[in-house]
Amino acid sequence: MGRDDQAWAVFRCSLLSPLLLGEIPEAEREAYFRSLAEQERLLPNGQRKQISVRTLRRWWRRLREEGVEGTFRRPRSDRGRPRAKQQPLLDRAVQLKREQPRRSDVIINRILRQEFGRGLPRSTLYRHLRREGATRRKLGISQQKVRCRWTRDQAGALWVGDFEHGPPVLHEGRAVKTRLSAWIDCHSRYVVEARYYLRENFDVLVDSLLRAWTQHGASRELYVDNAKIYHAAALRLACTQLNIKLLHRPPRDPPAGGLIERFFQTLQGQLEAEIRAARLLSLASINRALSAWLTQEYHAAIHSETGQTPAARYEQGTRFQRSVRLQSVSGLFLRREWRTVDRDHSDVTIDHRHYAVDPQLRGDRVEVRYDPFQTADEPQEVQLHRRDNGELLGVGRLYQREKGAQPQPEPPVESGPIEPLYLDALEADRQRDHQQRRQRGLDFQSAQERNIWSLTSFATRIAQLLGRPGGLSALDSDELDSLRAFHAQHNRLHESLLRTAVAHAEWPTIPHVLFQLQSLLSEGDV
């Protein structure tokens, strides 16, 4: 499925979603189709045309029988036929609105019928006026913005989600700023999902949503930011598949997201203040602290607006809950990349990892689909699809490419999954190596060869500047391992630079000091 197919699917689902969401009763379906057919629409290919009732019926039937996949674009039988244009009416409507900003849609349509013999649907008229900057507010008549009261009378009806900057952690010898992804129930203020990540992108958004849906089912509505990742076609298609209404925050209008912003303020003042003052170094450690704080503090405290604890309010009373079959939407969230199957090894490479495929696909150009969050590290399995129609060709599984070795052909897809005994062995080896590194502690000899300032002096001095008496003995094994990795990557460390980093660190902890050191070194301020 290409971008054009996604655009057409989103367009068709947006028209039919009121029927799926129950906003339009089944008895009024034909009337709704007739109202849609009266309006000229801008299609994903840039054309303007009206959509017939017959076409809408066909789209609706395919959506109910086949799901979102039934809305994918198919060849049209009426391609190339001319359609009537509404541009003269739209241009005249804008002119009339600019002449008199207080002129209503009723008056504008009355004038249009006198001049052109027909008017414009109210939704089409307002959409065009807004696009041309000819609304009352844009023309200076109405300055007061009408705001919705973002609340619901039952739990699970509306979730509000957003990202926020988090405290730095150590990752692969570097200090990295984290990003917090959170979803909060509007009725109860219960946080259905919250987790720190190392980045902010669509993959993180998908992981956060799937975790929330797995634990709490699907909400009736989602209210999100206006950022690019929240407008992804895959997200809109998944919401359509689950009968979720997707709402976006108005551009350049922060107060509309006040509910989630207020939660971020509470979290920063309570939890993150303690995280920054504590000796938490890893992403896993701050996520454990977040989970404990949500359970023991936030969800158990009386909320000032509701007068109840979020946990009690979420569980009591009327609750909207709908289970989610993740298999029905997970395919829409898979990352897609084009690869040519290696002729010598019969494999494809994703993120420097090799996946063995059927030798019959050697030299073929295929679409590789995979879940970047399938495991704790990297995906162990990928899907191969045909380039033209998206047909599943088979599965590629992670293996260790060796020079001169040829992977064994994979069994057909119908044969069922294979127990990942080899992958389990790889993970056990990784854990064993990690434990051995921690037991060895600091590799003084190799570090001294790379750096003018010895690792011993560096670690001892950073402990002293942080107010920890005892030198190296004041540092635990995780801290020593992180300092060793950081010292090995940077060869311009010295006393003056370290003092500057400690002085400018937001909190006197090793992650914050290393983050400042990293910034100073990258800027050349040495």
Q: What is the pLDDT of residue 150?
A: 59
Question: Taking a C-beta distance cutoff of 8 angstroms, is the pair 211, 195 a contact?
Answer: yes
Higher confidence at residue 389 or residue 203?
Answer: 203
- Is the pTM here over 0.75, yes or no? no
Question: Taking a C-beta distance cutoff of 8 angstroms, is the pair 440, 453 a contact?
Answer: no
Q: Is the pLDDT of residue 443 over 50?
A: no
Q: What is the pLDDT of residue 87?
A: 84
pLDDT tens for each residue of 461-506? 888 888 887 666 777 777 777 787 888 777 778 888 888 888 888 7
- Identify the DSSP state of 348: E
Region 53-68 average pLDDT: 85
Q: What is the pLDDT of residue 408?
A: 47
DSSP conformation letters of 433-452: HHHHHHHH---HHHHHHH-S
How far from the centroid of its chain's Cα atoms is residue 409's Cα?
35
Which of 275-284, 337-346, 417-426 holds the top average pLDDT?
337-346
Higher confidence at residue 447 or residue 383?
Answer: 383
Residue closest to 472 by CA, chosen among 441, 516, 496, 494: 441
Q: Is the pLDDT of residue 360 over 50?
A: yes
Q: Is the pLDDT of residue 63 over 70?
A: yes
Q: What is the pLDDT of residue 190?
A: 93
Tokens at residue 368, please?
Answer: 């590789």
Q: Is the pLDDT of residue 397 over 90?
A: no
Angle (CA) 52-54-55 rounded to 5° is 70
Region 117-126 average pLDDT: 86
Q: What is the pLDDT of residue 524?
A: 60
- CB-based burial label for 9 (10 Å; 0-12, 13-18, 19+): buried
Q: Is the pLDDT of residue 193 over 90?
A: yes
Q: Is the pLDDT of residue 252 over 50?
A: yes
Q: How confident is the model at residue 319 (pLDDT cuts 50, 70, 90)?
A: low
- CB-based burial label for 237 (10 Å; 0-12, 13-18, 19+): buried
Q: Which of 41-50, 206-215, 226-235, 438-447 has the lowest mean pLDDT?
A: 438-447
Q: How confident is the model at residue 280 (pLDDT cuts 50, 70, 90)?
A: low
Q: Is the pLDDT of residue 392 over 70?
A: yes
Q: How confident is the model at residue 440 (pLDDT cuts 50, 70, 90)?
A: very low
Which of 206-215, 314-323, 438-447 holds the top average pLDDT?
206-215
Q: What is the pLDDT of residue 163?
A: 93
pLDDT tens for each residue of 342-354? 888 888 888 788 8
Q: How confident is the model at residue 191 (pLDDT cuts 50, 70, 90)?
A: very high
Region 62-86 average pLDDT: 63
Structural domain boundaries of the chain?
A: 3-71, 87-131, 158-315, 334-411, 441-523
- Determine the residue type at 467: G
pLDDT tens for each residue of 491-501? 778 888 888 88
Region 413-418 average pLDDT: 36
Q: What is the pLDDT of residue 254?
A: 54
Q: What is the pLDDT of residue 141?
A: 63
Q: At residue 369, what are phi and psi to the nearest 5 degrees?
A: -115, 130
Q: How confident is the model at residue 447 (pLDDT cuts 50, 70, 90)?
A: very low
What CATH number matches the domain at 334-411, 2.40.50, 3.40.50, 2.60.40, 3.30.40?
2.40.50
Angle (CA) 208-485-451 rounded to 5° is 150
Q: For the domain bounded by 158-315, which CATH number is listed?
A: 3.30.420.10
Mean residue pLDDT of the chain comes to 77
Q: What is the pLDDT of residue 374?
A: 61
Q: Is the pLDDT of residue 426 over 50?
A: no
Residue closest to 396 by CA, chosen among 332, 326, 342: 342
Q: Is the pLDDT of residue 149 over 60?
A: no
Beta bridge partners of 246: 222
